[in-house]
Amino acid sequence: MIIREIASSLYPWDLADEPIDQIVDKLVEHSAVNSIYLVGVMHYEKRPLTSLFYTQNPKRKWYAPEDSRVYYRMDMNSFRNTRLKPQFSEREFLMHTDWLDVLTECARRRGLKAGAEISHTFYDTVKAQKEFPDVLQKDIHGRPFSNHFCCNHPDVAEYMRAIFYDTVKNHDIDFIQTCMMLFHVGKPVEQPWFQKDKADPKLAALLGVVTGGCFCENCRRKAISMGYDWDAIVKQLSELERIVTATPYHNNDVCIEFQTLMGSNLTEAGLLLEYPALFQFLEFRKKCITNLMKDIYEGIKEAKPNVEFRYNNYLTYPEFAGLDYKAVAPYLDSVRDSDYTEQRDVVDDFQYKRGTLLKIRRGIGYDKPLLAAFAVRPNATPEIIIRSIQALSTVGVDGFSLGHYDGSTNKLLHAVKDAMELYDIHLAP
Ligand SMILES: [Zn+2]
């Protein structure tokens, strides 16, 4: 099999703590990496994520990033049409350097592809809650979600377009990747404790959507302008929300409805026929996300036509968040799937991983690059990584993406080269 790319993410603090050439030496030697990208806007998450302490960092044991800071310079003129402005690091060891320039300078010198990632969130969520609570998504009761921004809010839509545009305009990158959170998918509903059969995970996730978002005033206005009877949709979804949040002590008049529903073998199609508002709600959100992706894509191409827009899939059921790969395909140049089965007990022989990749592939078509991520961090073993790459060699991926250097070991990294040799996988020259 011929692939085109083996990518690795790097965080600004990785580059502050260890010389970038020393990092890249390891990635190239052990994993044949030919593409590096900076996680240039990172959410509030302790690093490393899946283990107590760093394995590669020579300076610190662990790190707690600030929320949603941008670690490279931006032209504030790009943000003149939105109340939301980028926030930068206030930490001495990070704040005086453009970390994306550090990464691209190294990539160019060594002939590697260079990219930037705007991760799950792109704005300080505490600041947003305090200063601009209207930009946050709302649940069906009007309560805001703490870290999901509504793309139907004009300030959010403009901020999202601008942050991609400006990153591409003012930095020498080949691709810009994002795993930005879309519509809040709610929480899959849980089977009542005394029902011993497991709830169907797809039905549980679909039902959970009514506990997600967004039900804000901007969504209402937009839906009505698109011809939806929004108030009727919300009325029917409210009835369903009462049912799926019922317990013997809360909404007990519909508790039996919930208990029988979860014990039944009703299909998702059956549910959508009973609650057409649920279908309309999903369809409305799909149209909104498709528009958002179109705006971002056009902004990127306006800045530099050759820069690639890559979505980094992290969703089990993207369509529940508004992401329909067939609908957004015209506005994506490539997709990375961030499944990290390798770091758990592999009980399904990578069936979930392969299924997700094929789902994305049939959505984006057969010509656009699809990269499969895998975990090179603790809990994975070289043997598991080799098995994973064997599975990937059967589903027509165009590249790999390592998650993540900060928790890796050289042995885990080297499993990539070992697997490529075993399964006859080559990088295109
Ligand atoms: Zn909204």
Residue-wise DSSP of 120-153? S--S-HHHHHHH-GGGEEE-TTSPEEEEEE-TTS
Token output for 190: 């849980």
Tell how far the Cα of 214 is from the centroid of ligand 1, in angstroms: 4
> What torsion, rounded to 10 degrees, do the Cα atoms 128, 133, 137, 138 define?
150
Tell how far the Cα of 348 is from the centroid of ligand 1, in angstroms: 37
Tell how far the Cα of 210 is from the centroid of ligand 1, in angstroms: 14
Domain boundaries, the chain: 2-134+146-183+288-427
pLDDT reported for residue 429 = 87
pLDDT digits (tens, 9 = 90+) for 5-64: 999 999 999 999 999 999 999 999 999 999 999 999 999 999 999 889 999 999 999 999
pLDDT for 365 beyond 90? yes
C-beta of residue 25 within 8 angstroms of C-beta of residue 110: no
In CATH, the number for domain 2-134+146-183+288-427 is 3.20.20.80
pLDDT for 174 beyond 80? yes
C-beta of residue 37 within 8 angstroms of C-beta of residue 116: yes
Token output for 327: 């609908």
Instruction: Please compute, for residue 173, the number of CA atoms within 13 A of its CA located in the half-sphere on the CB side.
Output: 32
- Measured CA to CA in angstroms, residue 353 lies from 278, 290, 341 at distances of 28, 24, 7
Tell how far the Cα of 120 is from the centroid of ligand 1, in angstroms: 17
Percent of the chain at pLDDT exceeding 90: 94
pLDDT digits (tens, 9 = 90+) for 241-290: 999 999 999 999 999 999 999 989 999 999 999 999 999 999 999 999 99
C-beta of residue 41 within 8 angstroms of C-beta of residue 124: no
Tell how far the Cα of 154 is from the centroid of ligand 1, in angstroms: 10
E runs forming strands in 214-331: 308-313
